[in-house]
Structure 1
């Protein structure tokens, strides 16, 4: 929701392109159909115990899932850049009596990839689509590898933690990047031991992150190559119905504070009533504290006209119990993901009580 992100491609276009079905699907409820009935899929429950490395792989009984990487980078001259890489899996409803997910073109999984690079002056994004079962996209565990076509997120690790050493690459018509990501601290379970609630009605996802990556490598923008380094963040989520039909979209923050603290914040906007707020305070040693709505103040301070939409690109973020009082501002206010399912996604800078960098995703505007 690091979509990281939560951008689901269960919309009409992808169903038409990849499922081979000519029937018009029912009207979607909530943003991108994330509130549609999910009774035929597995459900998120509070009593689940995570198992690694298995949970790095796909969870085919759930409707939606993603592997989501963002990175805040600088070159030797101090120029700032952002990189995004996302692989989404969406499962079509299982036909009555069908066991498993089918082989070849009968496989029920649809895949989508998003990749982008952002600088102060430019923002370029690209997308890929694939049908499961034909080896065009997927996720394997030995070694850990997530891919769609030639975009990939692949483990190079020789120890028991496949996330300790990863290689990331993607390209589009006006950009490409290849980054090496290393982590020396354990991953983090978001919410209540990985159970991340998204509404007062109980909608939720399973959610973990690796917020302690350090990245280095190269990015190319419009034919010019930059050697870059900086912090990166992986989000992993899966669910079957993470939103209510009253929720119109979300604002998601991943923040790297200058003292080594990491912060994840969610603001789920609703048609009626106040937004649903949740978050996680991640100490520099990897220990966590869950943040409730009463602990968080997220207030848009300024908007930018982006593709005819008023997008909040400067925010006041306060966590009084942690003495956090910062302004979060977009590096490039025009970081619009102008894809089949459009949204805003880009790097941000932090100023005030704490300095730092991060990423912001905004959907449903």
Structure 2
């Protein structure tokens, strides 16, 4: 096949991926509440299988491999990194071969400092090898970005891994180690998103220790810290009256971890949920009625007013903290835009984490 034919096909595939991303952006996050006829359904009682579930689930409409890292450089300055690979099926049914494959891949990468936020995105059509995920040996990639297992990678821990991404004005490369298995979120991996049955399968590896290099504007620095990876897949993760979410992943200085989110509804009500993860890796669900999430300060970003400071309380655990962003301007101005950035918190507990705000 000639190089000209390859480039034309690559161009056509890129146009298709961009069209899907623009359609998703136009719909907003409420588009995730569209009916998913023909796709697989999320139901309680799934038995997770590793390494198999580290890989893709094309019978479901959407899934992601999502990593955030809270780091410090050699001078002690805080920074954060994001690496995300999304898969979305344009239509259900048997997987097409080559350019007929219905999977669209999209990836986001970002690097955040107190005064700097850099981000970029990539797109690929499925079926041509440009992007994808394999469960064993584990590898997730798009172009030259990758999250990759090593020969000694433990399937239960999904570690160690190497991670890399680059944009026009930043790049990073990390090694990720973990000494505990991945943890199932929600009810043994079944994560309910509404009272009407919307849900996802969801597990995390919140115990990564990260080490590597961050390069912004050709100024490389060594970085170390903690990282958290979320794995989630579904066919209809939101209900039709839900517009977006406010989500936090928190690394407590005690070694415990906490995942919290609230899904916002058009009537002004919220659907909150959480999981407390002990330093030993044991999880306990937190009922929505025991979660208090209150915005305390907003920032004007990208023409939007965003709640970037939060007061969080869980009365049953005598837990009360105030979360503040490292950089209030951590807007991901991608085709599917949102706010995502590192935070720190203090109060009854202290530590660092990440905040994600969608649908604003």
Q: TM tier, shorter chain?
A: over 0.9
Runs of 4+ in 1 over 4 A off after TM superposition: 19-22, 24-30
Shift of 1:313: 1.0
Shift of 1:116: 0.2
Query: In the alignment, is the contact (CA less than 8 A) between 2:17 and 2:124 conserved in 1?
Result: no
Return the TM-score normalized by structure 2.
0.92
The 3-state SS of whatever aligns with 1:321 is: helix
Equivalence map 1:148-159=2 (5 Å) = 148-158=142-152
**211, 219, 229: which one aligns with 1:234:** 229
Unaligned runs of 5+ in 2: 1-11
1:55 is aligned to 53
Q: Which digits, 9 at most, give the CA deviation of each residue in 1:283-342, with x for residues without a partner?
A: 000001001111111000000010111111111011111221110010000000011121
Return the TM-score normalized by structure 1.
0.91
Closer, same or farther: CA 185–21 of 1 in aligned 2, 3 Å: closer
Distance 2:168 2:19 in 1: 30
Closer, same or farther: CA 19–356 of 1 in aligned 2, 3 Å: closer
Q: Which digits, 9 at most, give the CA deviation of each residue in 1:93-129, with x for residues without a partner?
A: 13xxx6x201110001000000000000000000000
Shift of 1:353: 1.1
2:207 is aligned to 212
Distance 1:151 1:272 in 2: 40
Query: In the alignment, is the contact (CA less than 8 A) between 2:17 and 2:105 conserved in 1?
Result: no
Closer, same or farther: CA 314–20 of 1 in aligned 2, 3 Å: closer
1:129 is aligned to 123
Distance 2:148 2:242 in 1: 34
Shift of 1:39: 1.5
Query: In the alignment, is the contact (CA less than 8 A) between 1:196 and 1:206 conserved in 2?
Result: yes
**282, 295, 307: which one aligns with 1:287:** 282
1:9 is aligned to none
Shift of 1:160: 3.9
Equivalence map 1:248-287=2 (5 Å) = 248-287=243-282
2:138 is aligned to 144
Distance 1:285 1:249 in 2: 32
Distance 1:246 1:32 in 2: 7
The 3-state SS of whatever aligns with 2:263 is: strand
Q: What's the C-alpha RMSD, in Å, of the aligned pairs?
A: 2.1
Closer, same or farther: CA 27–157 of 1 in aligned 2, 3 Å: closer
1:224 is aligned to 219
Query: In the alignment, is the contact (CA less than 8 A) between 1:103 and 1:133 conserved in 2?
Result: yes
Query: In the alignment, is the contact (CA less than 8 A) between 1:30 and 1:244 conserved in 2?
Result: no
1:107 is aligned to 101
Closer, same or farther: CA 114–159 of 1 in aligned 2, 3 Å: closer
From the two aligned structures, give the one with the greater helix fraction. Answer: 2
Aligned residues: 347
